[in-house]
Amino acid sequence: MLSIQDLNVYYGSIHALKGVSLEVNEGEIVTLIGANGAGKSTLLKTLSGLLKPKEGTIHYQDSVISGKPAQSIVKLGVSQVPEGRRVFADMTVEENIELGAYLRKDKEEIGKDFKKVYSIFPRLYERRKQTAGTLSGGEQQMLAMGRAIMARPKLLLLDEPSMGLAPLMVKTIFETVKDISKAGTTILLVEQNAHIALSIADRGYVIETGRVILSGTAAELQASEEVKNAYLGGH
């Protein structure tokens, strides 16, 4: 579904991604793990069209999307839940969710997807008239995910969904990620919490200072001494 070949991305003179290659097959949950500043979020921003690569290609289904504008990438079925959630604080929960369907014209189907989002996240339904800024961090994460679902993505890019959340809420969010995957959405997950990411992923890639240094099935990465020592607290 997604194939990235030899991607090089710069922030000014800083070489943020150095020849990154990876692939995601339809129906998989693939996770990218690595320390802060390794290049994980840069990769997602490049996939979303928010950053332009200097070299390399990104194939999504039958299209080359590297360098395309963000809105045309969303139209193709790629949605991102950004790091830090980025909800519109002064708008209601309902208005935030509705924005996810901004490019869609199929009113009846949009109505169905609203019901779907509220069935996945009943708490959002309870808070639908509240402004998003009054929600807890976990509720804002639910809202950011609900908003992304409204675009009917075939590929969902999740950037650090557990960041800043209480352990119980992290569990809830990751159970939901599994449910979204089971319902037919392919997921590329960027996550600092390697433990929980590998517990739900099919495969993973380890990124260090802009390079992929390891890849394998989730089980292989969980068993790797290198991954254990660097990302799983040595156990």
Q: How far apart are the first and last CA of the chain?
A: 33
Torsional sign, CA 133, 139, 145, 151: negative
Residue 134 lies in a domain: no
Whether 66 has a pLDDT exceeding 80, the answer reads yes
Region 7-15: what's the mean pLDDT? 94
Domain containing 70 — which CATH number? 3.40.50.300
- pLDDT of the residue at 234: 59
Q: How many domains in the chain? A: 1
Question: d(Cα 86, Cα 24) in Å, to the nearest integer?
Answer: 25
**Helix or strand (DSSP H, E) at 64:** strand 63-64
Torsional sign, CA 142, 147, 150, 151: negative
Residue 96 lies in a domain: no
Closest alpha carbon to 17 in 216, 204, 227, 207: 207
Query: DSSP code of 92?
Result: B
Dig out the tokens for 127 from the structure. 């808070």
Q: Which amino acid is at 2?
A: L
Residue 108 lies in a domain: no
Beta strands 29-33; 186-190: pairing state: parallel
Helices (H), the chain: 40-47, 70-75, 93-99, 107-120, 122-126, 137-149, 167-182, 194-200, 218-223, 225-231
Beta strands 211-217; 203-208: pairing state: antiparallel
pLDDT band at 106 (very low <50, low <70, confident <90, very high): confident
Residue 161 lies in a domain: yes
Residue 22 lies in a domain: yes
pLDDT band at 214 (very low <50, low <70, confident <90, very high): very high
Residue 211, strand partner residues: 208
Whether 235 has a pLDDT exceeding 70, the answer reads no
- pTM (2 d.p.): 0.89
Region 151-156: what's the mean pLDDT? 91
Measured from the Cβ of residue 143, the count of other Cβ atoms closer than 10 Å reads 25
Region 107-131: what's the mean pLDDT? 89
Query: DSSP code of 62?
Result: T
Q: What percent of the chain has pLDDT over 70?
A: 98
- pLDDT of the residue at 222: 95
Measured from the Cβ of residue 19, the count of other Cβ atoms closer than 10 Å reads 14
* pLDDT tens by residue, 154-213: 999 999 988 888 888 888 889 989 988 998 999 999 998 999 999 999 999 999 999 999
Residue 17 lies in a domain: yes
Residue 211 lies in a domain: yes
Q: Which amino acid is at 26?
A: E
Region 51-57: what's the mean pLDDT? 96
Least confident of 28-42, 63-77, 162-176, 217-231: 162-176
Dig out the tokens for 128 from the structure. 């639908």
Residue 110 lies in a domain: no
Surface-to-core class of residue 15, CB atoms within 10 Å of its CB (0-12 exposed, 13-18 middle, 19+ buried): middle
Average pLDDT score, the chain: 91
Whether 129 has a pLDDT exceeding 90, the answer reads yes
Domain span at 61 = 2-86+154-231
